């Protein structure tokens, strides 16, 4: 970096950040350039990193979170100061809530001015704002500390329960120079960033005793189980014990959805009737009705085993009889080993009446669903459109499905079967809208596989401008917009008599396909399942950016999909 042959070689903050990330095997940055990080994006690209540049930081952040989930390494989101940082913050908080490892790196204004609140360009105390919304937050003031800062961020994101980390890099830091050899020596290659956590043997025995005594056992697999990459161990546990299992939405495909032990099609029955429930990387939050109430049947008849890496998760909603704390791979393999050593081939599968009752309900519900899917109404409804997508995913089980919306989410989750682990990305723990294009871009960039984004028309709107990003990087993403002219439905009317339309409706007959065409991608207007199926097939085969505007009956949706009960009016009525 110097022309003076006698002076020692110099490096600077920019290069130290890049070198520290590369040293730790991080090769992709999702971000949006601007002051003070524009040069960082250029230099990172020059140094061989992939830099994916977005139209809005929230989607870059969501992409980083999805990359973290898909790779098990923290995804990196890079933003400018104050407004860019704030735009990225929603994604950081969402990643933390979902237990996805990511690092939000934001440039920031000068400390001296920010701290005296003297009105700097984009002045904001970003570190203080980020802190309560993520797992850890750090600021680096000296180039010589960049290695430590990045090492701490990686470790915080990956170890224990994964989550989001904020790293604050003030503008001045980037231009600081130091001796290159000292700079290299200051970098840290993080050793064992997500250490295995072996469960205590007595905890394993306690869990096993409970499982063994169960008459109606059930395993619930959550996205923590998918994230843990313990696929073979989990499959061994399920198949060795013969216990029916229920995948939470992002755990679909951990075992193929057509596995005979899947109890998905008898979900309400097994949750209400099971006597021992083993949670594997799944929290008893609102998605599981907090482990109580009507969903779970008689409380006295139910005992829980919970496998989780976070000890404080235990007893968060109901008493957990057998906590098993550790990483899922270690816990599940310890359970299988304990079964093998104490039971050999004598492990008794669950009682046949339990399995029979589940099979009966499954058959009934599956044939009911098959009959609904076989209908071909005009206009298309959610079911007839999803039947086609279900077949396309079956034909390409390696494709990644991204899914958001209300009805579009609910129906797709139950209709579109998944066959491989970590192929389904959706609204997650918050049920958040706006993850669609960010997750899709990350999935395509990270895996190179076809991505099928099943989007409600409202949900798509949150990140729709990123179709330009999809086209710019020529990513194999096929977006299917379920266009029913509104949020939930397109039929609401303004009852007030004023000229405005109702708050939940959109422009009727909108052509989302034109948006993709505007940037050189393929746009298709599909009004029948046959048109939708053909366009999807071509998109997956060609890998070209495609948006299918799937026209859905505007009367077909339900308010808030399956969570109508969470609307204050419905909740009040229930009281």
Using CB under 6 A as the criterion, which residues of the chain lie in contact with ligand ADP when the complex forms? 98-99, 161-162, 222-224, 227-228, 248, 250-251, 281-283, 285, 287, 308-310, 313, 327-328, 429
Buried b (16+ CB within 10 A) or exposed e, 278-317: bbbbbbbeeebeebeeeebbeeeebbbbbbbbeeebbeeb
| Distance from chain centroid for Cα 540 | 22
Minimum distance between the CB of residue 358 and ligand ADP, rounded to whole angstroms?
20
Looking at residue 521, what DSSP letter applies? Answer: S
Q: Which is nearer to ligand ADP, 285 or 289 (CB)?
A: 285
How far apart (Å, rounded) are the C-alpha atoms in residues 475 and 306? 39
Minimum distance between the CB of residue 246 and ligand ADP, rounded to whole angstroms?
10
* Residue bearing tokens 């594997």: 280
Q: Quick one: which of 333, 324, 336 has its CA closest to 204?
A: 324
Copy the structure tokens of residue 569.
């009016």
Burial of 110 (0-12, 13-18, 19+ CB in 10 A): middle
CB of 13 closer than 8 Å to CB of 146 = yes
Q: Quick one: which of 517, 521, 526, 524 has its CA closest to 544?
A: 521
Q: Give 307's strand partners.
A: 280, 324
Minimum distance between the CB of residue 569 and ligand ADP, rounded to whole angstroms?
27
Minimum distance between the CB of residue 328 and ligand ADP, rounded to whole angstroms?
4
Q: Which is nearer to ligand ADP, 33 or 160 (CB)?
A: 160
Contacts of 529 (CB under 8 A, 6+ apart): 376, 380, 384, 385, 387, 388
Largest CA distance in the chain: 84
Q: Which is nearer to ligand ADP, 284 or 526 (CB)?
A: 284
Minimum distance between the CB of residue 222 and ligand ADP, rounded to whole angstroms?
3
Minimum distance between the CB of residue 152 and ligand ADP, rounded to whole angstroms?
20
Q: Which is nearer to ligand ADP, 38 or 268 (CB)?
A: 268
Q: Which is nearer to ligand ADP, 418 or 551 (CB)?
A: 418
Q: Which is nearer to ligand ADP, 223 or 544 (CB)?
A: 223
Both ends of the chain: CA-CA distance in Å? 70
Q: Which is nearer to ligand ADP, 283 or 302 (CB)?
A: 283
Beta strand ranges found along 465-534 (DSSP E):
477-483, 522-526
Q: Which is nearer to ligand ADP, 184 or 290 (CB)?
A: 290
How far apart (Å, rounded) are the C-alpha atoms in residues 536 and 23? 40
Measured at the CA of 526, the angle between CA 522 and CA 532, to 5 degrees, comes to: 85
Q: Quick one: which of 158, 161, 165 has its CA closest to 325?
A: 161
Contacts of 319 (CB under 8 A, 6+ apart): 304
Minimum distance between the CB of residue 372 and ligand ADP, rounded to whole angstroms?
26
Minimum distance between the CB of residue 251 and ligand ADP, rounded to whole angstroms?
6
Minimum distance between the CB of residue 567 and ligand ADP, rounded to whole angstroms?
22
Q: Which is nearer to ligand ADP, 281 or 557 (CB)?
A: 281
CB of 78 closer than 8 Å to CB of 105 = yes
Residue nearest to ligand ADP (CB): 224
Buried b (16+ CB within 10 A) or exposed e, 347-382: eeebeeebbebbbebbeebeeeeeeebeeeeebbbb
Minimum distance between the CB of residue 441 and ligand ADP, rounded to whole angstroms?
22
How far apart (Å, rounded) are the C-alpha atoms in residues 340 and 332? 12
Copy the structure tokens of residue 68.
């973290």
Minimum distance between the CB of residue 234 and ligand ADP, rounded to whole angstroms?
11
Q: Which is nearer to ligand ADP, 43 or 321 (CB)?
A: 321
Helix (H) or strand (E) holding 456: strand 451-456
Q: Which is nearer to ligand ADP, 383 or 422 (CB)?
A: 422
Q: Which is nearer to ligand ADP, 13 or 61 (CB)?
A: 61
Minimum distance between the CB of residue 369 and ligand ADP, rounded to whole angstroms?
22
């Amino acid at each position: 970096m110097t022309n003076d042959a006698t002076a020692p070689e110099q490096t600077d903050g920019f290069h130290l950040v890049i070198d520290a990330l590369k040293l730790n095997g991080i090769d992709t940055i999702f971000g949006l350039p601007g002051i003070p990080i524009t040069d960082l994006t250029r230099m990172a690209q020059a140094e061989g990193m992939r830099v994916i540049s977005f139209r809005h930081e929230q989607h870059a952040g969501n992409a980083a979170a999805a990359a973290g989930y898909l790779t098990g390494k923290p995804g990196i989101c890079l933003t400018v100061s104050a407004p860019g940082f704030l735009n990225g913050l929603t994604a950081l908080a969402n990643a933390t809530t979902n237990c996805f490892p990511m690092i939000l790196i934001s440039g920031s204004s000068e400390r001296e001015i920010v701290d005296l609140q003297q009105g700097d360009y984009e002045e904001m105390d970003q570190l203080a704002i980020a802190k309560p919304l993520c797992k850890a937050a750090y600021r680096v003031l000296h180039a010589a500390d960049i290695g430590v800062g990045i090492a701490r961020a990686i470790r915080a994101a990956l170890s224990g329960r994964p989550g989001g980390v904020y790293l604050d890099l003030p503008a001045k830091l980037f231009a600081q120079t130091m001796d290159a050899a000292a700079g290299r020596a200051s970098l840290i290659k993080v050793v064992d960033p997500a250490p295995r956590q072996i469960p205590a043997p007595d905890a394993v025995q306690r869990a096993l005793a409970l499982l063994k005594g169960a008459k109606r056992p059930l395993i619930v697999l959550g996205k923590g189980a998918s994230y843990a990459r313990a696929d073979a161990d989990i499959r061994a546990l399920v198949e060795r014990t013969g216990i029916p299992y229920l995948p939470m939405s992002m755990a679909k495909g951990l075992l193929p959805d057509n596995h005979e032990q899947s109890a998905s099609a008898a979900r309400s029955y097994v949750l209400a009737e099971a006597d021992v429930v083993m949670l594997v990387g799944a929290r008893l939050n609102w998605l599981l009705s907090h482990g109580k109430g009507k969903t779970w049947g008689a409380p006295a008849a139910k005992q829980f085993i919970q496998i989780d890496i976070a000890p404080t998760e235990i007893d968060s909603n109901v008493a957990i009889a057998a906590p098993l704390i550790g990483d899922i791979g270690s816990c599940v393999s310890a359970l299988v080993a304990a079964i093998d050593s104490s039971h050999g081939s004598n492990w008794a599968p669950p009682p046949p009446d339990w399995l029979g009752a589940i099979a009966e309900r499954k058959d009934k519900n599956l044939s009911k669903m098959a009959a609904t899917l076989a209908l071909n109404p005009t206009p298309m409804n959610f079911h007839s459109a999803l039947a086609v997508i279900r077949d396309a995913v079956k034909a390409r089980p390696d494709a990644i499905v991204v899914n958001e919306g209300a009805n579009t989410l609910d129906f797709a989750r139950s209709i579109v079967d998944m066959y491989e682990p970590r192929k389904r990305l959706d609204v997650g723990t918050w049920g958040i809208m706006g993850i669609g294009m960010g997750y899709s871009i990350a999935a395509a960039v990270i895996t190179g596989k076809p991505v099928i984004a099943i989007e409600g028309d409202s949900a798509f709107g949150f990140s729709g401008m990123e179709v330009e990003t999809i086209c710019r990087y020529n990513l194999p993403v096929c977006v299917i917009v379920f266009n029913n002219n509104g949020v939930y439905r397109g039929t609401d009317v303004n009852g007030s008599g004023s000229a405005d339309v109702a708050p939940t409706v959109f422009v009727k007959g909108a052509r989302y396909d034109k948006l993709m065409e505007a940037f050189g991608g393929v746009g298709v207007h599909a009004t029948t399942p046959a048109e939708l199926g053909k366009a999807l097939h071509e998109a997956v085969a060609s890998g070209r950016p495609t948006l299918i505007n799937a026209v859905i009956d505007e009367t077909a949706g339900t308010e808030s999909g399956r969570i109508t009960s969470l609307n204050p009016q419905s909740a009040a009525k229930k009281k």
